[in-house]
Amino acid sequence: MTKASSILILASGSPRRLALLEQIGIVPDLLYPTHIDETPKNREQPRSLAKRLGQAKARAAYSALRDEGKTGNAVILAADTVVAVGRRVLPKPETVDEAADCLSLLSGRNHRVFTSVCIVTPEGRVRQKITDTRLRFKRLSKDEFENYLACGEWRGKAGGYGVQGRAGCFVIRLVGSYTGVVGLPLYETAGLLQSAGYHFAANWQDAI
């Protein structure tokens, strides 16, 4: 199966994930965001949460599209990112108070970002990879803290920050997948897509 005989459905509405795919020459044929309950289960570990949510998003999209008769030749791609300080999962803040709590926890500390990328093949097989990236933030000054909250860039982002934005200057060290922290680990995503027969690199020469 080549790209010409398959389509790619991105089960996400994230502009960051879309931009990362475009970076490696992939434009999904359809965006199909899924809405699931992302509440961690009792005592659920951050890595396990990322794994479960990534699969749940991919499976939800597959089930809905199958009911619509649209899964015949589709590869479905989904992802989920979890930011954790120790075993504590940080939210995707929607209020300033929530964002302030996240920044307070991250300031001057190490944390981890788990990103799960999951595909469902046209045959309904599920394949998944998880990246585990370790980061350390500088200790934020009062001005940095207040100005970042005021800029609003934190809204809706896991852990209350986007490493590709202004918060990038807070990162002292990053060990792992930078694109995974942004929201979609490209190395792992490319491998999963190629294993499913979606050979996107064949089209790179068309862009020259």
Give residue-wise pLDDT tens across range 138-187.
Answer: 999 999 999 999 999 999 999 999 999 999 999 999 999 999 999 999 99
Q: What fold characterizes domain 3-207?
A: Maf protein (3.90.950)
pTM: 0.93
pLDDT at 4: 41
Side chain identity at residue 166, one-letter code: R
Separation CA 89–CA 93 (nearest Å): 12
* pLDDT given for residue 190 in this prediction: 96
Backbone φ, ψ for residue 166 (5° rounding): -60, -30
Domain ranges of the chain: 3-207
**Nearest in space to 196 (alpha carbons), one of 76, 61, 63:** 76
Checking if the pLDDT of 9 tops 70, the result is yes
At residue 45, the 3 state secondary structure works out as: coil
Retrieve residue 124's tokens: 């309904």
Can you state the percent helix, strand and coil of the chain, rounding each to 5? 40, 25, 35
SS (H, E, C) 64-133: HHHHCCCCCCEEEEEEEEEEEECCEECCCCCCHHHHHHHHHHHCCCEEEEEEEEEEECCCCCEEEEEEEE
Tell me the average pLDDT across 72-99: 95
Are 11 and 118 a contacting pair, CB within 8 Å? no
Whether residue 12 contacts residue 78, with contact meaning beta carbons closer than 8 Å, is answered with yes
Average pLDDT over the chain reads 93
Catalytic residues: 80
| Nearest-10 crossing angle of helices 142-151, 96-106 | 140
Cβ neighbours of 162 (radius 10 Å)? 19
Residue 3 pLDDT exceeds 50? no
User: pLDDT category, 5, cuts 50, 70, 90?
Assistant: low
pLDDT of residue 176: 98
End-to-end CA distance of the chain: 24
pLDDT at 86 over 90: yes
Q: Is 135 exposed, middle or buried (0-12, 13-18, 19+ CB in 10 A)?
A: buried
The DSSP 8-state label assigned to residue 165 in this structure reads T
Residue, of 172 and 122, whose pLDDT is higher:
172
Band (pLDDT 50/70/90 cuts) for residue 196 is: very high
